[in-house]
A and B are shown apart, each in its own frame.
Chain A
Amino acid sequence: MAKKTALVQGNQACAAGAIYAGCTFFGGYPITPSTEVAEEMSELLPTVGGKFIQMEDEIGAMASVIGASLTGAKALTATSGPGVSLKQELIGYACIAETPCVIINVMRGGPSTGMPTGPGQSDVMQARWGTHGDHAAIALVPESIQEIFTETVRAFNLAEKYRMPVQVLFDEIVGHMRERIVYPEPGELELIDRDPVTVSPEDYKPYDSTKGLVPPLASFGSEYKYHVTGLNKADDGFPTTKASLVDAEERRQIDKVECPEARADIESNEEFMTEDAEVILWAYGSSARSARYAVNELRKEGIKAGLFRPITLWPFPEKRTAELANQAKAIIVPEMNLGQMIHEVERVALGNCAIEGVFRVDGDPLNPGQIIDKVKEVI
């Protein structure tokens, strides 16, 4: 039988992906341009016995998601940049308490209220650093309706596997445009649940990392009782100010994402015509679509251009970006901001090639023509 297809918005595909992943809780607050995610979840969740709650504010939404996750639910919230600004407090809480959850950020222009119905990509650094204190971050940046579905599923898998918040960022263009989606059959995409606890309730320590960098998380309301706090804590979950314990825990919570094995597991990139490329367009989200269009046009003119597209933005694809900097004469970074990821590209390129940005923040997407002009200017 043919697979089910439909013409849907990115925001709708996101909700469908969440349900596919086994999400049973959504806590949200209305905000343009992400609201359709909440609307879809409010309709879909009761059909699968899940819970939808519209909270009193963005912070409350994030709090409810962490609370639900501690009972064992796969939990989701969706917002936009201003909402993430408010959620930052509890994103940090989810990091230190190591609580799995998925945060969707449908990006608009900013700062502040900015341009609610216009696209932007200016929250990518917020996704990395947007909460106080040191912490690891995982952020995924799909470019199409189909990929929003699959990356939302992957976000849940990574959140549960690495016991932490995972952000999925796409801009207003992809969130609101409609394309055909082919819904994966049940079982077609891998689904990952959090590791089961294997020790007895008496021996359970929620942050015991002797068997791995990601300790198993028990659910509230099971045979396991434990304490959760936002304070620096020892492996038993209780607050500590003992220097060696604080240091070890902080480092472990970053290592669990940034160690080579985890990076290899989490990173995901797409490359298009990079083999012989002299100019690399380093682009993500809807800007990558403009860049791919530009690559096709440039190739017609005999210019050896290629596209590197990170699908996992954080952790940053350091190794491959460095390799491309060695291969190419120039890397061009088109972004719908005034230069954010370009600094990361510069950091790992070590001066091995020219690096230029193409930036746009007027509410219109990056036009392929702008990118093509920049390439011609550089080579």
Chain B
Amino acid sequence: MAERYEIRFSGAGGQGLITAGIILAEAAAIIEGKSALQSQSYGPEARGGASKSEVIISDGPIDYPKATIVDACLAMTQEAADKYANGIKKGGLLLLDDDFVKTEPEGDFTIYRLPIMRMAKEDIGREIVANVIALAAVIGMTGVVSKEAGEEAVVRRVPPAFKELNQKAFALGYEKGKALLN
């Protein structure tokens, strides 16, 4: 059976993490022609609360649709980190928002930190692109899809007027994510 690669994005509802998951799954399934499955769970609140989006990527069919053991996890808030930063593979990676997660989850995985919301606000000028920065950072760190596929999937999803803004955010996230591993 083909290798499964599992990624979990978590944060507050409304932060665009479900969209980040969808973009990653599109990059894998539509652009790179792999198997990909995206799912999410959320509470009754449309904004706030903790939400998560999972993406499973594989070269073969994906049977079980939920995460079994997570290869890479993102947590944008403390609540998300407390609730969803679990089930991570030994030697897997966990990316935290440097400003919003103070208490680090414990486990046999490597923790990385990036000030994602601050980068969105200060470097790009729009908090709304934080999800794209986070997505790009995860792609940069994991290589689960190519940089080109990731960027193209982002561009396909956003309105033309926001193309450049998102490309800028993607490039920043990818570069910072890759740099974390050096």
Binding site for B on A (CB under 8 A): 5-7, 116-117, 173-174, 176-180, 286, 289-290, 292-293, 296, 364-365, 367-368
Residue of B nearest to A292 (CB): B63
B37 at the interface (CB under 8 A from A): yes
Cα–Cα, bound, A296→B4 (Å): 14
The answer to whether B63 and A180 have CB atoms under 8 Å apart is no
Supplied contacts A176-B40, A179-B37, A293-B64, 12 more A-B pairs, CB within 8 Å: A7-B38, A116-B44, A117-B44, A178-B22, A178-B37, A180-B36, A286-B65, A289-B63, A365-B66, A367-B64, A367-B68, A368-B63
Residue of B nearest to A363 (CB): B41
B129 at the interface (CB under 8 A from A): no
User: A375 → chain B, closest Cβ, in Å?
Assistant: 15
CB contact under 8 A between A178 and B38, given known A5-B30, A6-B30, A296-B1: yes
**Chain B 1-31: CB-based contact to A (< 8 A → 1; otherwise 0):** 1000000000000000000001001100110
A289: B residues at CB distance < 8 A: 63-65
A173: B residues at CB distance < 8 A: 39, 65-66
Which of B30, B37, B42 has the most chain A CB atoms inside 10 A of its CB?
A: B37
The answer to whether A7 and B68 have CB atoms under 8 Å apart is no
Q: Which of A7, A117, A286 contacts B41 (CB 8 A)?
A: A117
CB contact under 8 A between A177 and B68, given known A6-B30, A290-B63: no
User: A49 → chain B, closest Cβ, in Å?
Assistant: 29
Q: Which 5 A-B pairs have the closest CB atoms?
A: A177-B39, A293-B63, A293-B64, A180-B29, A178-B38
**Which DSSP category, helix, strand, loop or mixed, fits chain A's interface?**
mixed
B43 at the interface (CB under 8 A from A): yes
**Which DSSP category, helix, strand, loop or mixed, fits chain B's interface?**
mixed
B66: A residues at CB distance < 8 A: 173, 364-365, 367
B37: A residues at CB distance < 8 A: 177-179
Task: Name 14 A/B residue pairs within 8 A (Cβ), A-sorted.
Answer: A5-B30, A7-B26, A7-B30, A116-B44, A176-B39, A177-B65, A179-B29, A179-B36, A179-B62, A290-B64, A364-B66, A365-B64, A367-B64, A367-B66
A286: B residues at CB distance < 8 A: 65
B65: A residues at CB distance < 8 A: 173-174, 177, 286, 289, 365
| Residues 32-67 of B at the A interface (beta carbon under 8 Å) | 35-44, 62-66
User: A115 → chain B, closest Cβ, in Å?
Assistant: 10
User: A362 → chain B, closest Cβ, in Å?
Assistant: 13
Residue of A nearest to B26 (CB): A7
Cα–Cα, bound, A296→B29 (Å): 23
CB contact under 8 A between A368 and B38, given known A116-B44, A117-B44, A180-B29: no
Residue of A nearest to B39 (CB): A177
User: B145 → chain A, closest Cβ, in Å?
Assistant: 13
A178: B residues at CB distance < 8 A: 22, 25, 37-39
A6: B residues at CB distance < 8 A: 30
A180: B residues at CB distance < 8 A: 29-30, 35-36
Cα–Cα, bound, A177→B40 (Å): 7
Cα–Cα, bound, A180→B36 (Å): 7
CB contact under 8 A between A368 and B68, given known A5-B30, A179-B29, A293-B63: yes
User: B31 → chain A, closest Cβ, in Å?
Assistant: 10
B30: A residues at CB distance < 8 A: 5-7, 180
User: A2 → chain B, closest Cβ, in Å?
Assistant: 11
A368: B residues at CB distance < 8 A: 63-64, 68
B42: A residues at CB distance < 8 A: 117
Which of B22, B41, B66 has the most chain A CB atoms inside 10 A of its CB?
A: B66
B62: A residues at CB distance < 8 A: 179
| Residues 50-108 of B at the A interface (beta carbon under 8 Å) | 62-66, 68
Which of A116, A178, A289, A365 has the most chain B CB atoms inside 10 A of its CB?
A: A178
Cα–Cα, bound, A293→B66 (Å): 12
The answer to whether A177 and B38 have CB atoms under 8 Å apart is yes
**Chain B 118-161: CB-based contact to A (< 8 A → 1; otherwise 0):** 00000000000000000000000000000000000000000000
Residue of B nearest to A366 (CB): B64
User: A289 → chain B, closest Cβ, in Å?
Assistant: 5
Residue of A nearest to B43 (CB): A117
Cα–Cα, bound, A9→B64 (Å): 16
A365: B residues at CB distance < 8 A: 64-66
Which of A116, A173, A177, A368 has the most chain B CB atoms inside 10 A of its CB?
A: A177
A176: B residues at CB distance < 8 A: 39-40
Residue of B nearest to A178 (CB): B38
User: B144 → chain A, closest Cβ, in Å?
Assistant: 16
